[in-house]
Chains A and B, each alone.
Chain A
Amino acid sequence: MRDSHDSGVGSVRRRALLTAAATGAAGLAGCLRQFRSTRQQRSPEQLSLEIHTLAGDYDARATEIGRTLSDNLSAVGVDTELVLLPEDELRRETLISQEYDLFVSRHPDIRDPDFLRPLLHSSFASEIGWQNPFNFTDFTVDELVVQQKEETGIERRGTVAELQHELARQQPFVPIAVPDHISTTRSTRFGDWQRVQLQSPLSLLQLEARGDESEQLRLVTTDDRITRNLNPLAVEYRSKGTITQLLYDSLGRRYDGKIRPWAASDWEFEQTGTGPVATVTLDPSLQWHNGESLTADDVAFTIEFLQDTSLGAFDVPVPAPQFRGRTSLIDTVDTVDDEVLEIHFAETTPEIAVRSMTLPIVPRAEWEEKINAPEVAGIELSETLTEALVWNNDEPIGSGPFVFDSREEGQELHLKRYDDHFLTRKDGRSEELATAFPNGVPFERISLTSVRSDSVAVQLLKDDEADSVLPNLDSSTVPSIGREQEIELHVNPSQSLYLVGCNTSREPLGNPHFRRVIARLLDKESLVSNVFGGFATPAASPLSTTTWLAPEFEWNGTDPELPFFGTEGELDVEAARQELREIGFSYSSDDELLEQ
């Protein structure tokens, strides 16, 4: 009995122990499970974003756009840091290494909607330069940017309008404004500046020399990059390539409103089933600056080289980023003889294909040696770049109307006229060229002086130490130019676009709702009046000010798609926070916007 009793008690106790152990085990397991899930759900921290922009010395407008965005993001609870950089560093961090959250910059050329294809198509995301720096990937946009290059007329116009809608909705980048091109000139030594479109290098050649002292055209710039590097392929150093276009010829050039034969004496387009084919005939007298003759082989080499500067040596092609949009239109090139070549285009229209005629032509003998990976102190860097894209090109050899003479880094650049160029020789020029450039090349030398600020540049003109400013001035200089009798003011719409780029591969910038909020934190109208002094057009679409602008995106005092949270530049913080909450963001008790 006792035994049984004992055993009874014992068994009860044992059962209790077992139960306790079992519950304990379950409890511990539960605890661990809970720990695992909470560990993966670490407590959200304040959202922090960096904005990369140019320092005031390089582009005060970009600085101020960045600062406004930074202030407004801070106001809605984001931990924001504004990072100021010079032009080349900004490009290194945004367009090359793509290590950024948001950046403010200026796209150099928005004339033809085809610029949106390399800028946004997902297949360009891994490339450097203005090739999808946003890492944006979207099915619809991909289809539309490809479709527009294969269409003409009313169809293309429809596709481009649809594309604008899609971009306004998704905001892979926020278009801000198209600035006016402000410049000043002095007519004592050269005349007819009115006729000259100061944004194009060729139009400088249409100037009219006055008197005998006009053998030198003196330009002044606030952008000293051209004095540091003369490589037409270097993406950190080139904007529009105004100077390099004077050193290097291309088959065609845009003058008098259209792309016309330049180094080519003629071309003919033929539409085939797979795309257009252009038969190009070269001017037989073309010569490089070193006296060697320029042949169809050099042209064919250049096109293949610009498509892949490693010439097939690397696993992944390394195209020249500046010209990617244009080289991507070309399939193959065949030389027929020394003067004739055939360019086979991918599926597109001659209207778009003709843009590739403006690629610079470089000598095979020199550039063929630049196909390896660049070396730093004897160590080869990665296979994502070739020497061609990064070398300095200290003594450029082209075939253009000007020859490199000398330079002083950060200070000056001197070019002299190339007397064997077809423009200077004047014999055998086409009628088109003879009419457009009746004086050939009207000056013997070009000097370019680099100064630090716009007011200094204007002063050099006032003191008769310069004839024109390259490339663009801040609107704050307008009154001081206007007051001066001796110098003229020129204001024209430019071909560039200020934008805020979003790195869509970083959270939360991958979220289109969040990007739309960013767009609504900027009052484009007030930026244009305060930062640009009114010398710009606010943009709701990247094609604003072009003939391609869809009518719904015409500016009418406010952004038709994404109006500013607030009025006259004053942010309505509560409205913006409310919108952020609605799209799924939360705030901490200290009003900090939390990571998702």
Chain B
Amino acid sequence: MSLLVHYAQMVVFVGVCLGIGLITIVGRERIQTFYSEYDIRLRDGLPHLGFLALVFVLSMYWRPIGGEVSWTVGIRITHTLYGIEGNLVATIQQIATTELTWALSILYVFGYVFLLVFPLVAYLFLDSLRLFRVTVLAYVINYVIGLLSYTAFVAYGPRNYMPTEVGGLMYDVWPQIEALTTQINVNTNVFPSLHTSLAVTAALLAWYSRTEYPQWFYLATVLAVSIAFSTMYLGLHWGVDVVAGTVLAVVSVWVAFQIAAETSDESVITRSGRRVFAAVKQARP
């Protein structure tokens, strides 16, 4: 029951933010242009979203298997992570206040989803869909490397390593949200921080769209930095996870630019999508 409420809250929050973003950041002109050729843009854009969804679905099947593989052969690195940075997270938590915890918790859960979804929408309104394709590929690369790393390394976050010094602040002020986060997170999946890597990825890509969406570049940067900070502040990730997440983001964006097709016609994913659409159209004349 409460889980459904959280999903509803999420949809409303992200929906409202997207709406505001479309009006203020994307602007009326681009929306009008999009409107005139939305069928082509959607036809060429949707296949990539489908690909992203496919990766997510496959990962759902992989997660429980990966968990067992991880306990069987994974390398246990929690102690090493602590050895590298010591009490960094405990020190960060000394600035904690209830207000800040609330702000960063909402950012961590809802702001994060907005930061990742907005580019997927906004880049459909650009003249070329290349940045859109790069975004999808970069997300997929982040996610796949992240999951492989979770399988290879067993690592608990600071909250689990030093429960007295580091509190699970989010669950203290907002226990209800636990129902949502346990759906998604396993407590041994901390190295690297995927929250950080995906947020930084979105911010790096925002730099490439700074001419078209200058405000978005600033907003995305602020959001990404705050989210990276929140993962430590909330006791969920080590500083090392955040650094590793940032490196992963840089690598993913670079690789995505290398492999993303220059034009829609050259993109394998788009071409496969077009064929599917054509086949569907033929099937129901």
How long is the Cα–Cα vector from A372 to B155 in the complex, in angstroms?
36
How long is the Cα–Cα vector from A459 to B175 in the complex, in angstroms?
7
Is B19 part of the binding interface, using a Cβ–Cβ cutoff of 8 Å? no
Instruction: Please tell me the number of chain A residues within 8 Å of chain B, measured between CB atoms.
Output: 23
Are B71 and A67 within 8 A (Cβ)? no
Are B172 and A455 within 8 A (Cβ)? yes
Are B176 and A56 within 8 A (Cβ)? no
Is A57 part of the binding interface, using a Cβ–Cβ cutoff of 8 Å? yes
Q: Which residues of A contact B24 (CB under 8 A)?
A: none
Majority secondary structure, B binding face: helix
Expressed in whole angstroms, the minimum distance between the Cβ of A444 and any Cβ of chain B is 21
Interface with B: A82-90, A175-183, A420-428, which one?
Answer: A82-90
**How many residue pairs at the A-B interface have CB separations less than 8 Å?**
66
How long is the Cα–Cα vector from A4 to B175 in the complex, in angstroms?
110
Bitwise, B43-76 to A at CB < 8 A (1) or not (0) is 0000000000000000000000000000100001
Tell me the nearest residue of chain B to A459, going by C-beta: B175
Q: Which residues of B contact A531 (CB under 8 A)?
A: 164
Is A285 part of the binding interface, using a Cβ–Cβ cutoff of 8 Å? no
Are A60 and B178 within 8 A (Cβ)? no
Are B76 and A56 within 8 A (Cβ)? no
Is A331 part of the binding interface, using a Cβ–Cβ cutoff of 8 Å? no
Are A56 and B171 within 8 A (Cβ)? no
A57-B187, A67-B161 as given contacts; A83 in contact with B76, CB under 8 Å: yes
Bitwise, B165-177 to A at CB < 8 A (1) or not (0) is 0001001100110
Is A15 part of the binding interface, using a Cβ–Cβ cutoff of 8 Å? no
Is B79 part of the binding interface, using a Cβ–Cβ cutoff of 8 Å? yes
Tell me the nearest residue of chain B to A55, going by C-beta: B160
Q: Which residues of chain B (115-168) have a CB below 8 Å from chain A?
A: 156, 159-164, 168
Are B171 and A83 within 8 A (Cβ)? no
Are A451 and B178 within 8 A (Cβ)? yes
Expressed in whole angstroms, the minimum distance between the Cβ of A528 and any Cβ of chain B is 13
Is B78 part of the binding interface, using a Cβ–Cβ cutoff of 8 Å? yes
Instruction: Please tell me the number of chain B residues within 8 Å of chain A, measured between CB atoms.
Output: 22
Expressed in whole angstroms, the minimum distance between the Cβ of A376 and any Cβ of chain B is 12
Q: Pick from B71, B178, B187: contact of A55, CB below 8 A.
A: B187
Is B182 part of the binding interface, using a Cβ–Cβ cutoff of 8 Å? yes
Q: Which residues of A contact B79 (CB under 8 A)?
A: 70, 81-83
Are A453 and B164 within 8 A (Cβ)? no
Is A64 part of the binding interface, using a Cβ–Cβ cutoff of 8 Å? yes
Bitwise, A548-590 to B at CB < 8 A (1) or not (0) is 0000000000000000000000000000000000000000000
Q: Which residues of B contact A455 (CB under 8 A)?
A: 168, 171-172, 175
How long is the Cα–Cα vector from A451 to B176 in the complex, in angstroms?
10
How long is the Cα–Cα vector from A81 to B175 in the complex, in angstroms?
32
Expressed in whole angstroms, the minimum distance between the Cβ of B103 and any Cβ of chain A is 19
Expressed in whole angstroms, the minimum distance between the Cβ of A381 and any Cβ of chain B is 14
How long is the Cα–Cα vector from A89 to B187 in the complex, in angstroms?
14
Bitwise, A115-154 to B at CB < 8 A (1) or not (0) is 0000000000000000000000000000000000000000
Expressed in whole angstroms, the minimum distance between the Cβ of B165 and any Cβ of chain A is 9
The chain A residues found within 8 Å of chain B, CB to CB, are: 55-57, 60, 63-64, 67, 70, 81-84, 89, 451-453, 455-456, 458-460, 530-531
Offer 15 A-B interface pairs, CB within 8 angstroms, sorted by A: A56-B159, A56-B162, A57-B159, A63-B160, A63-B161, A63-B162, A63-B163, A64-B162, A64-B163, A70-B79, A82-B78, A82-B79, A455-B172, A459-B176, A460-B175
The chain B residues found within 8 Å of chain A, CB to CB, are: 71, 76, 78-79, 82, 156, 159-164, 168, 171-172, 175-176, 178-179, 182, 187-188
Extra contacts, 12 of them, besides A56-B156, A82-B78, A458-B175 (Cβ < 8 A), are: A56-B163, A57-B187, A60-B163, A81-B79, A84-B160, A84-B161, A451-B178, A452-B187, A455-B168, A455-B171, A455-B172, A456-B171
